[in-house]
Structure 1
Amino acid sequence: MSLASRTRALLDQALDAYQDSPRAVSWLRRQVNRLDDPLRLAVAGPRQSGKSTMVNAIAGAEVAGPSAGLSWFRAAPSRSRDELTLIDTPPVDGEAAAGAIENIYLEADAVLFLVRHPHRADLGFLHAMRDHPIARASTVNAIVVLSRADELGGGRVDAVISARHVARRYRREPEVGELCQDVVPVAGLLASAGRTLRQPEFDALADLARVPRAELAPQLMSADRFTAQDPSVRGGLLERFGLFGVRIAVTLIRRGAQSLPALAAQLVPRSGLAELRDAMDQAFVERRPVLKARSALLGLDVVLRMEPRPASAALAAELERTLAGAHDFRELRLLAALRTGRTELPPELLSEAVRLLGGQGTGVEERLGGHSESEIFEMIRRWRAWAEDPACSAGDRRAAAVVLRSCEELVARIR
C-alpha cells in the first residue's frame, strides 16, 4: 500500500474515532481534502529577501506584493499540468516570526526558503520547521534559494555562474544538508522582470543600448550614477531589473535581441529560474502524493495531541509505524544527497540508483528502464552485495540499502 493510501486510511480511522467532536472532524476532513488539492508551495524568507519578487517570477505575472499575512496564488509547474498553489508569506523574522512559521508549518506542503547571502543566512526558520518528530523524520520539503545571486557575483554579467559555485559549496555543508533538498541560486529581479517584461521597459532598455558603450559603462557602475540622468525612467528600470539586470538586458539587445519576446526569452535563462523550476519539479511536484501525505500526517498529529482520548493511543502508534515504514522519505533524502554530491556512488552505479529511486520519473516502467525480469533480479543481487559489503563505507551501505528496497518494491508491484 502506498504512503498516500496508508495516510488516507489513517484519516478515515481518525474520523471514526472523533465523530463526536465537530472541531476535530472539520480539521480531519480538511486533511483528507488536501490530499487531492494542488501542491502548496510557500515562499518564505526574512525581510528584503525578495519573496514577492520570487512569487512573481514563478507565476509569470505580477501577482504578489508586500503582505501582512499568507497570500495565495496559482501557477503551473514547468513539467506538469497540475496546478501549483504559491503562498507568499510574511517575513519570518522579528516579532511575527513565530506566527508566520506556525502558519507555514500547517498550510504548506513544501517551502522555498530565500536567503540573500549563505554566509550570513539565519537558518533558524528551517530548524523550527523540523522541530517536530514527524517533520524531523521527513525533512524532504524545503529548497534553499540564494535569491540575490547577482549580488554574490558582484553584479558582473557572469554573476549567476559564480553564484552556482557558491551554491555547490553551500549545499554540501552538513547543517544545510540536514535541512533542505537543494540549494539553488536565482537572480530574483532578473527572473521576475524577464517573465513580466513590458513594452515601455523594453523601449527604455533599447534606448540605453543605443548609447555608446564608453558613455554608458561608467553610468552602470552604481545606482546613483545610473539614475542621475532621467531619474524617473531609469529609476523604474533599476527597481524592476537591478543594475545587474540592466547590464544583461543592454548587452543582449546589442547582441541582437531586438524585440520584447526575444529579450524576455534570453533574460529568464540567465537568471537561474529554469534551474529552480527543475529543482521544484524534481523535489516537489513529481513527489506531490508523498508531500501531501506528509502534510496530512502532520495534521493528524495535531488532533491526536490537542484532543487525546483512548482511541488516539492506537492511532498514534499506527502513525508512528507508518512513518517508520515510509520508504518514500528515504528515497527523497537519498535522491537529494546524490544530486547535490553529499553522497557519492561509483559512476557505474549512480545513474542506475537515480533511476530506481524515481529521479527520472516515478512510474514503475520509468524506474525499471525497460529491463527484463532477469536483468532486474541481477540489479537486486548487485545492490544487495553492495549493501552488505564490509569494505564499503557505512554511508555507501546505507545508500545501497535504500536503492535495494526501492528495487524490491518495484518487483513486488509488477508481479
Structure 2
Amino acid sequence: MTAGPADLLRRLCDSTSARLAGAELRERVAQVRASLDAPLRVAVAGAVSSGKSTLVNALLGLPVAPVDAGECTFVVTQYEYGTDDGHITIELRDGEVAHSRLLPGHRLPSDLGVEVSRIRRLRVTLDQPSLRTVTIVDTPGMNTVTAANEQAARSMLFGSGDEDDRAQAMIYVLRYVQKFDDTTLAEFRGLTGACGMSCVNTLAVLGQVDRRGDEDDPWPTARRLAAKGYQDLRTSVFDVVPVIGLLAETARACPPGAEEFAALSTLAGMDEDDLEDYLLDLEDFRTAPDLPVSSEVRHRLVERLHRYGIMTAVRALREGVVSDPKGLAAHLLERSGYASAGRAATGSVAAGIAHFARRADHLKALDALTRLRAIARTPALGSDRSTLDALAAQLDENKPIATALGGLRIFAAAEALGRGTLVLNEEMTAELLRMARHDDPAEQLGLAAGAPKPEIATAATAASMRWRTLAMMSEGRTGGHRARDVLTVLEDVVGAALAEDRKPATATGGGPLPPVSVDRAAAEALRLSPMVPVDDRRALELLLSGTELAVQLGAPPSAPRTELAGYAAALAARFRVLTHRPLPIRQRRAAETLCEAYEAIWARCDRPDGP
C-alpha cells in the first residue's frame, strides 16, 4: 500500500523531533504528530442566536449542547469519543483541571461548580461511534466575524490562540436572514482565512430557514439563496447549505415520543384553517384554552418543532405518510434538509460532514503541513537552526508539492486560489473547485458519474493543456507551482483512465509497437538547453533511447494503444508551450519539430486500425 501524506508527515515529525535539542520546539512538533493520529477536529462556529448549538446537537445525535443563554454557551466545549460516557473534563486557564458529569438525558449542567471566567475549555466524553473519526468543537457565539490576525481569530472562536485549540475543519452557521452583502462576505472571508480555513475544509450553513414566516414552503427560496451564497463564497467554502436545525435536532437527538405523536395526531384532526389561524401567533397557540391538546404539550411542540415543524408533522399525519413516532422522526429529518437526497456529495450538512470524514487524513495532513512550516520559521540557534532549515526545505511552499504529499496537491491549489496567490479565469476556477469538491474523476472533470474511461482521459487531457500553459506562464511563482500541482493530478487521471483500457498496444504482428524515428539533432538541441524544464529534458532522453514506442513516451511497456495516445497528446501540449517561450530560434524550431512528432504519434495511436 502506498504511504499517504499523513504517513510521510508522521515520519518527518519523528525524525525532526529526534534531532531537536530545544524542549519547546520538540513539544510543538510532538503536538503536530499527535494531531495526525487524533480524530479530525471540526469546529462549529457562528453568530449569536444563529442556531449553532442546535446544529451541534443534531450532529451528535444527543441533546447535550445548551441552546439557552446559560454560562456553558460562553465556553468552548469539545465533544470527543470515549468509553466513560458523560464525563466532563474542565480545563482551567491556570492549568488546573476539574471534573463533572452530564446530567441524566445527556445534558450539560447549568452550574459547573467553577466560575466561567476561569474555564479555558470543556471536554465532554461521549460513547458515540461517529466521534471515533470526528471531534466536534462547539464554540461561543460571536457578535462579529472580524479578526485582525490568526491568533485573534482562533481566540475569538475557540477561547485562546494556543496550537491545541486549532481546528482542522469548520462549520460556520449563518442566520438565514443575514444578507450576503459585501461587508458580510469580506468579514467571512477574513475570518476563515485568518483561521487557516479554506474551500476544502469550511462548510457554511444557512440556519433557521423556516423562520421567515412569509412562505408555507421555505425550501425553494432557501435553496436559491444557498446557491447564490455558494457562488459568492465558493473560493472560501466547500459548500453553502440550508438547514432547519431545530427539526434536525428533534429528529436525531430527541425524537417525538408517544405523547407528542398523539398530540400531533389530535391536531391533525382539527379543521385545517382553524389550526393554521392558531399557528399564525405561536403565543396564542401555546395559551389558547379551547384547543384539544394540553397547554404543556403545546409548549413542548413549539419548543421542539416551531410553526413549520408542527405543520409538517400534521400534514404528514393527514396524508397518511407516517403512522408511528419512528416514522415521524424520519419524516422530520428529511424535511429538515439535514441530509441530501440519495447519496449526493454536496447540498446538505450530512454531505459536508461526510466530505470531512472521508478526507480526514488529508485535512489533518494539510493542517500539519501548515503548522510544520510555521515551526520551521521559528528563530533558533545552532543545530536546531540547521534542523529547522532542513524541515523548511522539505516542505517549501514555493515549490510544487513533493511526490509523497501528492494527495494534498488539489487542496494546496484551492487554498492558493482563496488567498489570491493563484489567479484563474472563470473556467479554470470552476474546474479546480470541482476537483476539490468531488472524489470521482468523472465528476471532477464535469462529466456524469460513471462516464467511460476514454471520455475521462480525453477531458483530463484537454484540461491538462490549460494547466500546463498556466504553469509555464507562471513558472517560478507560487501560482505556477500550484498550477503544476494540478497538472500532475490531471496527468495521473489520464494515466489511470487509460490503464483500464483493455485494448493492447501491439503492432500488426502482435508485438509491442516499434520505436519511432526522431530528429536526433532537434532533440539534442532542446535536451541540452538550460531553459527547458527538467521533466521535458527527461522526456527527450526517453524519446531518444526507448526501444519501443511505450518506453519512448514514458508509458509502461506494452501499454494500451489509447494510453499511448494520451501520453503523446500530453507531450505534444508540453512541447507546444515551449514554442511560445523566448528560446533561441534554433531551439524553438526544434521544439516545433518535436511537437509535430508527438502529434503524429498521437494520431497514429488514436486510430483503431493504426499500424
TM-score between both structures, scaled by the size of structure 1: 0.77
Counterpart position of 2:255: 197
Query: Counterparts of 2:142 and 2:436 in 1: how far apart (Å)?
Result: 37
With over 3 angstroms needed to count, the CA separation of the structure-2 counterparts of 1:384 and 1:140, relative to structure 1, is: closer
Aligned with residue 286 of structure 1, among 347, 351, 358: 358
Code of the residue aligned with 1:262 in structure 2: it is: G
Q: Are positions 1:243 and 2:249 aligned together? A: no
Aligned-residue CA RMSD in angstroms?
4.2
Counterpart position of 1:318: 394
Query: Counterparts of 2:210 and 2:371 in 1: how far apart (Å)?
Result: 39
| 2:206 and 2:241 in contact (8 A); partners too | yes
Aligned with residue 299 of structure 1, among 371, 396, 401: 371
| 2:255 and 2:329 in contact (8 A); partners too | yes
Deviations 1:126-168 (A, max 9, x none): 5133137xx37x552111100111125x363421232011111
Counterpart position of 1:234: 298
Q: Are positions 1:405 and 2:482 aligned together? A: no
Counterpart position of 1:181: 238
Counterpart position of 1:264: 329
Higher mean Cα deviation, 353-362 or 269-278?
Answer: 353-362
Q: What does 1:388-399 correspond to in 2, within 5 Å?
A: none
Query: Counterparts of 2:132 and 2:379 in 1: how far apart (Å)?
Result: 35
Q: Are positions 1:37 and 2:38 aligned together? A: yes
Query: Counterparts of 1:227 and 1:161 in 2: how far apart (Å)?
Result: 29
Counterpart position of 2:138: 88
TM-score between both structures, scaled by the size of structure 2: 0.54
Query: Counterparts of 2:261 and 2:390 in 1: how far apart (Å)?
Result: 63
Query: Counterparts of 1:296 and 1:399 in 2: how far apart (Å)?
Result: 19
The structure with higher relative contact order (CA 8 Å, sep 6+) is 1
Q: Are positions 1:162 and 2:227 aligned together? A: no
Code of the residue aligned with 1:87 in structure 2: it is: V
Give 1:6 shift.
4.0
Code of the residue aligned with 2:327 in structure 1: it is: A
Alignment: residue pair count: 385
Query: Counterparts of 2:450 and 2:361 in 1: how far apart (Å)?
Result: 22
Q: Are positions 1:147 and 2:207 aligned together? A: yes
Aligned with residue 100 of structure 1, among 136, 142, 156: 156
With over 3 angstroms needed to count, the CA separation of the structure-2 counterparts of 1:380 and 1:215, relative to structure 1, is: closer
| 1:157 and 1:247 in contact (8 A); partners too | no
Query: Counterparts of 1:241 and 1:220 in 2: how far apart (Å)?
Result: 12
Three-state SS of the structure 2 residue aligned to 1:67 is helix
Aligned with residue 276 of structure 1, among 329, 349, 364: 349
Query: Counterparts of 1:54 and 1:389 in 2: how far apart (Å)?
Result: 45
Query: Counterparts of 1:385 and 1:158 in 2: how far apart (Å)?
Result: 46
Code of the residue aligned with 1:290 in structure 2: it is: H
| 1:91 and 1:100 in contact (8 A); partners too | no
Give 1:63 shift.
2.1
Give 1:253 shift.
1.7
| 1:149 and 1:159 in contact (8 A); partners too | yes
Q: What does 1:351-370 correspond to in 2, within 5 Å?
A: 358-360=438-440
Deviations 1:304-346 (A, max 9, x none): 455544233443343333885241315767999xxxxx9558x
Query: Counterparts of 1:280 and 1:246 in 2: how far apart (Å)?
Result: 27
Unpaired runs of 5+ in structure 2? 67-71, 82-125, 289-293, 340-347, 402-407, 419-424, 443-447, 475-480, 500-555, 557-611
| 1:384 and 1:400 in contact (8 A); partners too | no
Counterpart position of 2:318: 254
Give 1:409 shift.
3.1
Percent identity over the alignment is: 28
With over 3 angstroms needed to count, the CA separation of the structure-2 counterparts of 1:231 and 1:171, relative to structure 1, is: same
Q: Of Structure 1 and Structure 2, which has the larger fraction of its residues in helix?
A: 1
Query: Counterparts of 2:399 and 2:313 in 1: how far apart (Å)?
Result: 49
Deviations 1:244-266 (A, max 9, x none): 21121121122222211111111
Code of the residue aligned with 2:296 in structure 1: it is: S
Deviations 1:348-396 (A, max 9, x none): x98xx9689852389xxxx996977x87765554333455689xxx9xx
Code of the residue aligned with 1:270 in structure 2: it is: R
| 2:78 and 2:137 in contact (8 A); partners too | yes
Q: Are positions 1:71 and 2:77 aligned together? A: yes
With over 3 angstroms needed to count, the CA separation of the structure-2 counterparts of 1:387 and 1:303, relative to structure 1, is: closer
With over 3 angstroms needed to count, the CA separation of the structure-2 counterparts of 1:157 and 1:266, relative to structure 1, is: farther
Three-state SS of the structure 1 residue aligned to 2:439 is coil
Query: Counterparts of 1:216 and 1:369 in 2: how far apart (Å)?
Result: 49
Query: Counterparts of 1:278 and 1:36 in 2: how far apart (Å)?
Result: 24
Rg bigger for which structure?
A: 2
Q: Are positions 1:129 and 2:192 aligned together? A: yes
